[in-house]
Amino acid sequence: MEPEIFVDVILPLPLPRLFTYFVPDDMQDNLQKGMRVVVPFGKKKQYSGIVFSVHQNKPAEYETKPLLSIIERTPIINEKQLDFWQWMAEYYQCTLGEVYKAALPSGLKLESETRVYYNPDYIQSNELSEKVEKVLLFLSDKKFCSVGEINDFLKQKSSFSLLQTLLEEGAVFVNERLKEGYKARTENYLRLGEAFQKEEALHEAFNALEKAPRQLQLLMTLLQKTGGAGQAMNGAGISRKAMLEGNNSATSPLNELLKKGILEQYAHEVGRLDLANGPIKEKSIFSPAQAKAFKEIESAFETQNVVLFHGVTSSGKTELYIHLIEKNIEKGKQVLYLLPEIALTTQITTRLKKHFGNKLGIYHSKFSSEERVEVYRDLLENHHYQIVLGVRSSIFLPFTNLGLVIVDEEHEHSFKQFDPAPRYHARDAAIMLAHKHGAKVLLGTATPSVESYYNAKRGKYGLVELFTRFEDIQLPRILVADTREARRKKQMKSHFTPLLLEHVESALSNNKQVILFQNRRGFSPFLECTVCAWVPRCKFCDVSMTYHKKMNQLVCHYCGHTVTTPQTCHACGSPSLSTQGFGTEKIEEEIKNIFPEVRAGRMDLDTTRSKKSYQKIISDFESGNIDVLIGTQMVTKGLDFDNVSVVGILNADNMLNIPDFRAFERGFQMMAQVSGRAGRKNKQGTVVLQTSAPDHPIIGYVVENDYATMYKTQIAERQMYKYPPYYRLMNLILKHKHKPVVDKAAEALANQLRAILGDRVLGPQEPPVGRVQNQYLTRIMLKFEKGHSPSHVKQLVNDAVNNILSRQEWRYVTLQVDVDPL
Ligand code: ADP
Ligand code: ZN
Ligand code: ZN
């Protein structure tokens, strides 16, 4: 008897296990790890999952269901990826299903959706509401649709009760279906009809068309453009567009040819990716300092797998990357170039395209799901791309032969994924990924994270430093403007000190450009009643709502809840509501008031929602259509503009006053980075740093550009107070809609953990914002010595969690595990 075959499948679920299915005979051929399969789940659901293993171990405790289908006959996840997924689930304490969900572009994950079908035999017996009638009419038109489409049609979030009515009426039935993921793009193509793909028949067609010169002409065009009669008879085709190009009156002869069957039209699959190649630019010639750094990097890589490249802003790091990439590509190796944010990809893409043309693929969420699938598939099958530029999710692409990973701006916090799980740090995960490929990792930054610098200092990473700017341009001069003093002397104009205004003015009159940095979006962080001090707060979260003037709305920056700006105080009815504090929108308005001639642009989350918006703002600033660019942390990183002579930091204080052990490091990094945008070409630039605490040590380090001392003070504190990199942190965040429930559960969990782990357990403590989206939060922090392996900890935590959260009263408490939180 043939042995029975089973597969363990990864499903997109937060359940910590794999699911075993029986493989029917006709699906056993060449079934492999990493293939996509469709499986039944529960009573009605289906999922597409990934084959994790193929085996003959029949589960003893339950009857297995059969696989429904195999989506394609080649694996879409390779062995290295599966390995990497396992590491990620283990280290970041999540399930393989959660990694799967994060790793694949949505077009490659078929997901169950509920479809509603109109019952053609339905005869109305009861009276129905107007709304129900409307939906019925809509459905009878469409025959079937998804629940989402009904919601859209009704412009409401849920149509649960309405569907209930329709089902009871017998007017519809529902079915779970797998939603179509990726759709190929097609174009109309033309080729010889099948009967004419033979020499004789074709010959006859030519004879028959002697009296129809325009049809004959079209037939000739087809033969020419497909590369000859031989090709055409093999079924080669050309696009209809190409056929009719410059020949507008050819539609009717074409229709004749189609009618006669000499030609036939068909849908031809065309890619969405831009594979055009422009002129390729020669590599630049290194300055002596760059050449030295390059040599040091290469020799460091001889003994180290990870090298930290600490080079001041505008020292020419990106140029060095380009040389390194080229060397890898020449060796036939793939390169992954990671950036922390989409905002940065625009400029780097342009730079890399000039050198690597269509070998460069780009991967991030401003691309459609379809485009992302095509990039994914290119790496899997076609291999046009040898270098991929992307944000954190690109670590999940199916690389086969990675030689180098560049993590640019390695200190950036946006490399960390917060929600949902896996809560991974793309820099750290990339190091593991590279390790699996035997590839090298270059961490580049002007302001290293304390963790990476520590690793470099103690020899775990190589370290290469470059302290001069390209062409020896001086680093910008940093002037500190004391806002307290300016206020006392009543010299402030809106939120500007005289010093900042003076420099903005002189830059503008010299036709130079200005960047203004304010780390808050919106117009003002909150509104306040001037009579009773009432502040509008979010209905769902414990935070005040941010005022957005242009939209005339209050927005919660935690959950996105939006309301129209109230005209009067909800507590005392007074119409006098004043704006408190300031965000980028207000700075934009103030700058326009002070300098009416100035063309101001703004770059923050609100102005960059669409795919093209970054491109537009950045190229408007590059080409000089914007004089002053106002932005949040988006303008601090990596951007390279030639003509910026002044950078203004509007409020250094709110960066330094955050209650977090990393606040000083982070404040230093942001200020040093945004300063680095000034005076990159030609001449030294100027930075005006506004603060009410001019004597703050971090301000001093920024002024002196003294990374080393900043590092020394911070690393000493980390050691003293037991923080990373000396200790490893792990947060357990508990959530529930009733505060007493979550508090009690957390207390019990903390006690249980404390019994095993002692004073490594801190809290529970309510985080600064204690309620988000109507869920109360509390946090337990675990601190481990370096030696503790994550898997050992995982077991301990799992046991405690299972023990506590399985109790009846705490069943609905949710838990998030955040390893190495930021
Ligand atoms: P970083 O990445 O360190 O901020 P960049 O690589 O962006 O620095 O270099 C700063 C500027 O100097 C860029 O405009 C870049 O084109 C230019 N540059 C750097 N190195 C060279 C070189 N070797 N030849 C010509 N231009 C260079
Ligand atoms: Zn009031
Ligand atoms: Zn909210």
Residue 317 Cβ contacting ligand 1 at under 6 Å: yes
Report the C-alpha dihedral over residues 109, 114, 115, 118, rounded to 10 degrees: 180
3-class SS of residue 214: helix
User: What's the mean pLDDT in 246-267?
Assistant: 87
Q: What's the 558 CA to ligand 3 centre distance in angstroms?
A: 5
Cβ–Cβ < 8 Å for 90, 787: no
Pocket test for ligand 1, best of 286, 312, 314, 410 (most atoms within 8 A of CB): 314
Cβ–Cβ < 8 Å for 577, 528: yes
Model confidence over 73-121: pLDDT tens digits? 899 999 999 999 999 999 999 999 999 999 999 889 887 777 889 988 8
Specify the pLDDT at position 132. 87
Return the amino acid letter for 384.
H
Model confidence over 354-376: pLDDT tens digits? 999 999 999 998 888 888 999 99
pTM summary value = 0.86
Q: What's the 316 CA to ligand 1 centre distance in angstroms?
A: 4
Per DSSP bridges, beta strands 562-564 and 577-580 are unpaired
* Sign of the alpha-carbon torsion through 137, 138, 143, 149: negative
Q: Please give the number of the atom of ligand 1 that sits closest to the Cα of 312.
A: 3
Which ligand lies nearest the alpha carbon of 289? 1
Among 380, 434, 432, residue whose Cα is nearest residue 403? 434
Among 710, 683, 692, residue whose Cα is nearest residue 477? 683
> If you take atom 23 of ligand 1, which residue's CA is the nearest one?
286
Cβ–Cβ < 8 Å for 392, 417: yes
Specify the pLDDT at position 115. 84
Model confidence over 2-26: pLDDT tens digits? 789 999 999 998 888 899 999 999 8
CATH superfamily of 727-819: Ribosomal protein S10 (3.30.70.600)
For the chain, what percent of residues have pLDDT higher than 70?
A: 99
> Between the CA of residue 555 and those of 216, 366, 375, 544, what are the distances in Å?
65, 23, 36, 9
Peptide bond into 821 cis (omega under 30): no
> Between the CA of residue 413 and those of 386, 419, 821, what are the distances in Å?
27, 14, 10
Residue 679 Cβ contacting ligand 1 at under 6 Å: no
Model confidence over 296-348: pLDDT tens digits? 999 999 999 999 999 998 899 999 999 999 999 999 999 999 999 888 888 89
Model confidence over 712-727: pLDDT tens digits? 999 999 999 999 999 9
Model confidence over 128-142: pLDDT tens digits? 888 888 898 898 888
Q: What's the 527 CA to ligand 2 centre distance in angstroms?
A: 11
Per DSSP bridges, beta strands 334-338 and 45-55 are unpaired
Structure tokens at 52: 């994790």
Whole-angstrom distance, CA of residue 694 vs CA of residue 706: 16
Residues 6 or more apart in contact with residue 123 via CB below 8 angstroms: none
Residue whose entry in the numeric block shows the structure tokens 């590092």: 711
Q: What's the 707 CA to ligand 3 centre distance in angstroms?
A: 37
Report the C-alpha dihedral over residues 117, 121, 123, 129, rounded to 10 degrees: 10
Whole-angstrom distance, CA of residue 734 vs CA of residue 15: 18
Reported confidence tier of residue 1, pLDDT bands at 50, 70, 90: low
Q: What's the 239 CA to ligand 1 centre distance in angstroms?
A: 43
For 311, other C-beta atoms within 10 Å of its C-beta total 23
Specify the pLDDT at position 308. 98
Among 372, 380, 371, residue whose Cα is nearest residue 398? 380
Q: Is 538 annotated as a binding residue?
A: yes
Q: Is 569 annotated as a binding residue?
A: yes
Whether ipTM exceeds 0.95: yes
Model confidence over 567-591: pLDDT tens digits? 999 999 999 999 988 999 999 999 9
Specify the pLDDT at position 611. 73
Residue 294 Cβ contacting ligand 1 at under 6 Å: no
Q: Say if residue 345 is exposed, middle or buried (CB neighbours under 10 Å; 0-12, 13-18, 19+).
A: buried
Pocket test for ligand 1, best of 281, 466, 470 (most atoms within 8 A of CB): 470
Q: Is 541 annotated as a binding residue?
A: yes
Pocket test for ligand 1, best of 287, 313, 318 (most atoms within 8 A of CB): 318
Q: Which residue has the higher pLDDT, 503 or 113?
A: 503
Whole-angstrom distance, CA of residue 639 vs CA of residue 517: 13
User: What's the mean pLDDT in 624-643?
Assistant: 89
Which ligand lies nearest the alpha carbon of 530? 2
Q: Say if residue 200 is exposed, middle or buried (CB neighbours under 10 Å; 0-12, 13-18, 19+).
A: exposed
> Between the CA of residue 632 and those of 321, 483, 605, 673, 789, what are the distances in Å?
27, 20, 8, 12, 38
Q: Please give the number of the atom of ligand 1 that sits closest to the Cα of 321.
A: 6
pLDDT reading at 790 higher than 70: no
Residue 470 Cβ contacting ligand 1 at under 6 Å: yes
Q: Is 145 annotated as a binding residue?
A: no
Residue 48 Cβ contacting ligand 1 at under 6 Å: no
Identify the CATH assignment for 288-468 out of 3.40.718.10, 3.20.20.370, 3.20.20.80, 3.40.50.300. Answer: 3.40.50.300
Which ligand lies nearest the alpha carbon of 771? 3
Q: Provide DSSP, 544-556.
A: BPEEETTTTEEE-
Residue whose entry in the numeric block shows the structure tokens 């010595």: 785
Beta strands per DSSP E along 58-183 = 69-70, 112-118, 144-146, 172-178
Helix ranges restricted to H, 155-212: 160-169, 199-208
Which ligand lies nearest the alpha carbon of 468? 1
Q: Which residue has the higher pLDDT, 164 or 570?
A: 570
Of 146-155, 422-431, 581-590, the one with minimum mean pLDDT is 146-155
> Between the CA of residue 310 and those of 91, 109, 300, 445, 467, what are the distances in Å?
28, 40, 14, 5, 8
> Between the CA of residue 767 and those of 418, 526, 555, 560, what are the distances in Å?
15, 20, 21, 19
pLDDT reading at 278 higher than 90: no
> Between the CA of residue 42 and those of 46, 47, 167, what are the distances in Å?
8, 10, 21
Residues 6 or more apart in contact with residue 249 via CB below 8 angstroms: 214
Query: Are 6-104 and 477-521+596-716 in the same CATH fold?
Result: no
Return the amino acid letter for 410.
E
User: What's the mean pLDDT in 526-533?
Assistant: 93
Whole-angstrom distance, CA of residue 412 vs CA of residue 822: 10
CATH superfamily of 477-521+596-716: P-loop containing nucleotide triphosphate hydrolases (3.40.50.300)
The third-level CATH classification (topology) of the domain covering 6-104 is GIY-YIG endonuclease (3.40.1440)
Q: Is 532 annotated as a binding residue?
A: yes
Specify the pLDDT at position 555. 92
Residue whose entry in the numeric block shows the structure tokens 């507590």: 571
Residue 351 Cβ contacting ligand 1 at under 6 Å: no
